Amino acid sequence: MSLTYADYLHLDDLLKLQIPRSDPPEHDEMIFIIVHQAYELWFKLQLHELEKIKEDFRVGDTYGAIATFKRVRTIMKVMVEQIDVIETLTPTSFNSFRDRLDTASGFQSYQFREFEFVLGYKRADVLRFFPPGSPGHDALLRRLHERSVVDAFYDFLKRHGVTIPQELRDRDVTLPSVPNETVEEGILRLYKTQPDLQILFELMTDFDEGIQEWRYRHIKLVERSIGNKRGTGGSLGIEFLKKSLFHPIFPDLWGIRHKL
């Protein structure tokens, strides 16, 4: 028998995975589950594409990196827009099944933490929410010890004659990436002299801005859904989320804007 659409996509399995916990069923639990699952699929794709970007940087494939940054920034825009969908859920409706979530929270999305780690926003302390043996622990530990997209970006810049200071080349890759003036000087020179790299830097900035937009939209979503209640993940909710609101992934790209 020839391969069908349903077989190829394993639709039968996929469509069995939306299982509301409310009893009697609350109509709006379905949108909550599907939106979160859709995000997890986007995270999966983003991680896949970011691995390619690391490789593009490593081998110096500028056009490959441009094409893929265009893709991840476009996906990021969809991820930001998707907040509109979940915002159709009113606080009253959300409250009707919120206690069913028990301690479950997006805070425990290991793919989101992988996404942060692969982009160099490494916070080893989040591992305490993913103890050994729990889903995501091994993947997160591996990502923590791997070089990030920012480290691969340094390799790429070095090929283009940018001085990467020794302290960055020998840095402990389990720590978050940090801005650096020497790197910024090099990027500034490339920005002004190489139009292909200017396009790449702008796409990287778009993507970075997209992540910050997602954080902002998610905070507003939380605020309108639960106000200043604590999160189901046990954090202080909005106060906790605000800490990373303006965190840039590529601080050196933001650091040169006033000199352009």
C-alpha 100/C-alpha 243 separation (Å) is 28
Do 29 and 21 contact (CB within 8 A), yes or no?
yes
**Residue 240 near ligand HEM by CB under 6 A:** yes
Q: Does residue 136 touch ligand HEM according to CB under 6 A? A: no
Assess contact for 48 and 111: CB atoms under 8 A.
Answer: no
Residue 143 — left, alpha, or beta (φ > 0 → left; ψ -120 to 50 → alpha)? alpha
Of residues 101 and 168, the one with the C-beta less far from ligand HEM: 101
Cα separation values, 55 from 61, 68, 75, 150, 170, Å: 8, 11, 20, 12, 20
Taking the alpha carbons at both ends of the chain, their separation in whole angstroms is: 61
Give whichever of 57 and 115 is closer to ligand HEM, judged by the CB atom: 115
CB of 240 to ligand HEM, least distance (A): 5
Asked if residue 156 binds ligand HEM (CB under 6 A), the reply is: no
Q: Binder to ligand HEM among 118, 200, 203, 222 (CB under 6 A)? A: 222
| Residue 119 interacts with ligand HEM (CB under 6 A): yes or no | no
Identify whether the C-beta of residue 142 lies closer than 8 Å to the C-beta of residue 169.
no
User: Which position among 10, 36, 192, 220 is part of the footprint of ligand HEM (CB under 6 A)?
Assistant: 36
Give the three-state DSSP class for 194.
Answer: coil
- Coil, helix or strand for 244? coil
State the greatest distance between any 2 C-alpha atoms of the chain, in Å, as a whole number. 64
Q: Which of 226, 248, 254, 255 binds ligand HEM (CB under 6 A)?
A: 226
- The interface mask with ligand HEM, positions 47-76, x = CB under 6 A, is ------------------------------
Q: Which of residues 75-114 bind ligand HEM (CB under 6 A)?
A: 86, 89, 94, 105-107, 109, 112
Contact pick of 171, 176, 218, 254 for ligand HEM (by CB under 6 A):
218
The footprint of ligand HEM (CB under 6 A) covers 35-36, 39, 86, 89, 94, 105-107, 109, 112, 218, 221-222, 225-226, 231-235, 237, 240-241, 244
